[in-house]
Amino acid sequence: MRIAISQINPTVGDLRGNTKLILRDISRAKDRNAQIIIFPELALIGYPPKDLLLKPRVIKQCADLVEHIAQSCTGITAFIGYPIASPKGAGHLLQNAVAVCADGQIQNHHVKTLLPNYDVFDERRYFEPADTPTLTTIDNQNLGISICEDLWNEHDVFERPLYHLNPVDQLVDFGADILINAAASPYVLGKHEFRLNLMRHVARKHHKPIVYCNQVGGNDELVFDGNSCVINASGEIIAHAKDFEEDLLIADLPDKNSENDRLEGRIEQPKTGLNSVYHALTLGLRDYVRKCGFTKIVLGLSGGIDSALTCAIAVDAIGKENVIGIGMPSRYSSDGSVSDAEILASNLGIDFHVIPIEQAHTALESMLTDLFKDTQQGVTEENIQARIRGNVMMSISNKFGALLVTTGNKSEMAVGYCTLYGDMCGGFSVLCDVPKTMVYDLSRWINDSPDSPLLKQYNLPVIPVDTITKPPSAELRPDQKDQDSLPDYEILDEIVERYVEKEQSAAHIIDETDFDKDIVLRMVRLIDLNEYKRRQAAPGLKITGRAFGFGRRMPIAQRYDNRWSVGD
């Protein structure tokens, strides 16, 4: 059986645009004589559609469009993901379905059984589960259709399986010859390796091939990596699509009675490690800019590493001619601040302007002199500079219609080492889920790795060496260094990983590491306290298992006492 896997990049809510992508690939698959074509989960509306699903007309519009698409399904069967009204008639609930379209019409539907409701997933807000998964028979082959999470309940693979049901086991019990999974599985560092192991395990367990079709592209905070593939009944990869771009993968699966289990397909190598993080960030930023209708990005270049890395990614994402860098030295800026920013801008070939902030700084200080006369100088005065820069940057964004990209990383967003309405100004954040230690690793990778697209394009290390080697500093007072206020980033990042990503308690972290107890307690306290800043921060890309944002919903006004279990 010849199968086409359509790894499209839908825009959430763009029903007409997504219909065009679906029709385009049906036509291409027909040209390649495919008998069936699979699309990702909820392909028609794009994943995750969130509360667009609650709009009264959306479900009817989706239904009409799938009927329209079905008219093109002659000589091919298409499996198209979209939301349907629940036939159970319970309240307003919907179902997450796949339509089987053949002979010019919708033949039947398959419905998702396991609805993820953890981390960034919120499917029980909208959907009712299927009672049982179902088969479709084509050319005497039973196709067992599952939808994304339906595949993710293998008791031998997960430490803590979440559900009692296993829809894939059920499909095999019902007589499935081929397992098909329509997915929208967002990128997390290392996740595709895990996915492949999961699928290979399931294929071997049942001795059935698996066809996996994943969405690709960035939608707000989430980046879908694609990486669609076909695994044969022995658990070998026999076809693998590209990652981080659209693809139409064609694979021939053996007839169920055939001895030959090694059939064709193109096999692309998935990117791993820093290479995959870099591509996730680039695609995520490019799609955010494109899908929101921007063409240009503006950002402040301080000569530091966060703005340098963000700028390099922006150039790869949308092209050097569309990125504007602004240097805004103050009386405390080091010489390197402007010169390192200049070198970066010239290496990348972007527009760079210098707007010193001294005049505004002096003016604001004198405006506040009377009111502040009996007070101590401190953070308030430091933050004024960051806020002037925020103002300048928003003015440039307004004037030229360029998206202001913020540069804060996960470590500083964790502990609130950033100024509200200052350097936090901006519409989208590239690094908010990238710990500072990984900011360094990615910058070195961009400069040195043979896989680095920017090294290939420019044939030189684009990020100035000085930017990577100088100690990090906010430069808001003379000789300020990040490490005056924070522990070394190796320590901070491990605390953040344990406390935020792994949900370890302060006591657990203190027990398992040799970190100073007071530092651990101070950092977890700062992480809790600074929820208010993160709630007002720009949205940004998720690359770890637990990002700040809608996958980690913490109260702001709360008094959970981390010292309690530590015994203080």
Ligand X SMILES: NC(=O)CC[C@H](N)C(=O)O
Ligand Y SMILES: Nc1ncnc2c1ncn2[C@@H]1O[C@H](COP(=O)(O)OP(=O)(O)OP(=O)(O)O)[C@@H](O)[C@H]1O
**Could you list the residues that contact ligand DND (CB under 6 A)?**
379, 382-383, 386, 412, 416-420, 422-423, 474, 476, 482, 485, 532, 556
Between 92 and 535, whose beta carbon lies closer to ligand DND? 535
Residue from the set 389, 498, 534, 546 that interacts with ligand Y by CB under 6 A: 389
Between 326 and 345, whose beta carbon lies closer to ligand Y? 326
Q: Is the dihedral of CA 504, 506, 507, 510 positive or negative?
A: positive
- Tokens found for residue 281: 């960030």
Residue from the set 129, 329, 427, 487 that interacts with ligand Y by CB under 6 A: 329
Q: Is 46 in the site for ligand Y (CB under 6 A)?
A: no
**Total residue length of the chain:** 568
User: Count of CB atoms within 10 A of residue 15's CB?
Assistant: 18
- Catalytic choice (30, 73, 101, 112): 112
Between 115 and 317, whose beta carbon lies closer to ligand Y? 317
Considering CB distances under 5 to 8 angstroms, the limit depending on partner class, which of ligand X, ligand Y, ligand DND, none binds residue 301? ligand Y
C-beta separation of 302 from 309 below 8 A: no
Contacts of 259 by beta carbon, 8 Å cutoff, 6+ apart:
none
User: Count of CB atoms within 10 A of residue 331's CB?
Assistant: 12
Residue from the set 80, 239, 251, 328 that interacts with ligand Y by CB under 6 A: 328
* Residue pointed to by tokens 């009944």: 233
Q: Is 333 in the site for ligand Y (CB under 6 A)?
A: yes
End-to-end C-alpha distance for the chain, whole angstroms: 66
Catalytic residue check, 259: no
Check the annotation: does 301 bind a ligand: yes
Between 422 and 549, whose beta carbon lies closer to ligand X? 549
Q: Report whether the peptide linkage leading into residue 48 is cis, meaning its omega lies within 30 degrees of zero.
A: yes
Q: What is the 3-state secondary structure (H, E, C) of 492-515?
A: HHHHHHHHHHCCCCHHHHHHHCCC
User: φ and ψ at 403, to 5 degrees?
Assistant: -75, 125
C-beta separation of 77 from 37 below 8 A: yes
Q: Is 407 in the site for ligand Y (CB under 6 A)?
A: yes
Question: What order do you get walking across the sheet with 178-183 strand by strand?
Answer: 135-138, 141-147, 178-183, 210-214, 229-231, 237-240
Number of residues that bind ligand X (CB under 6 A): 9
Catalytic residue check, 67: no
Q: Is 221 in the site for ligand X (CB under 6 A)?
A: no
Question: CB of residue 188 vs ligand X: minimum separation in angstroms?
Answer: 8
Q: Is 298 in the site for ligand Y (CB under 6 A)?
A: no
- Residue span binding ligand X (CB under 6 A) among the ranges 68-76, 182-190, 420-428, 484-492: 182-190
Site residues (CB under 6 A) for ligand Y, limited to 469-498: 472, 474-475
Check the annotation: does 259 bind a ligand: no
Considering CB distances under 5 to 8 angstroms, the limit depending on partner class, which of ligand X, ligand Y, ligand DND, none binds residue 149? ligand X
Contacts of 465 by beta carbon, 8 Å cutoff, 6+ apart:
none
Catalytic residue check, 148: yes
Between the alpha carbon of residue 231 and those of residues 195, 235, 263, the distances in Å are 11, 6, 10
Question: CB of residue 21 vs ligand X: minimum separation in angstroms?
Answer: 19
Amino acid at 371: L
* CB-neighbour burial class of residue 475 (10 A; exposed 0-12, middle 13-18, buried 19+): buried
Amino acid at 279: H
Question: CB of residue 79 vs ligand X: minimum separation in angstroms?
Answer: 16
Distance CA 311, CA 299 (A): 7
Question: CB of residue 245 vs ligand DND: minimum separation in angstroms?
Answer: 33
Between 38 and 430, whose beta carbon lies closer to ligand DND? 430
Instruction: Give strand pairing partners of 225.
Output: 216
Between 184 and 527, whose beta carbon lies closer to ligand X? 184
Check the annotation: does 302 bind a ligand: yes
Helical segments of 137-255, H only = 167-173, 191-206
The closest of 262, 202, 203, 196 to 228, measured between CA atoms, is 196
Residue from the set 18, 282, 307, 452 that interacts with ligand Y by CB under 6 A: 307
Residue from the set 39, 79, 82, 152 that interacts with ligand X by CB under 6 A: 152
Question: CB of residue 228 vs ligand X: minimum separation in angstroms?
Answer: 12
Between 184 and 388, whose beta carbon lies closer to ligand X? 184
- Tokens found for residue 86: 């629940």
- Tokens found for residue 184: 């929208």
In the complex, the residues that contact ligand X under the rule CB under 6 A are 41, 116, 121, 148-149, 152, 184-186
State the binding site for deamido-NAD(+): 383, 412, 533
- Residues with active-site annotation: 41, 112, 148
State the binding site: 118, 185, 191, 300-307, 383, 407, 412, 533
In the complex, the residues that contact ligand Y under the rule CB under 6 A are 299-302, 304-307, 326-329, 333, 337, 389, 407, 412, 423, 472, 474-475
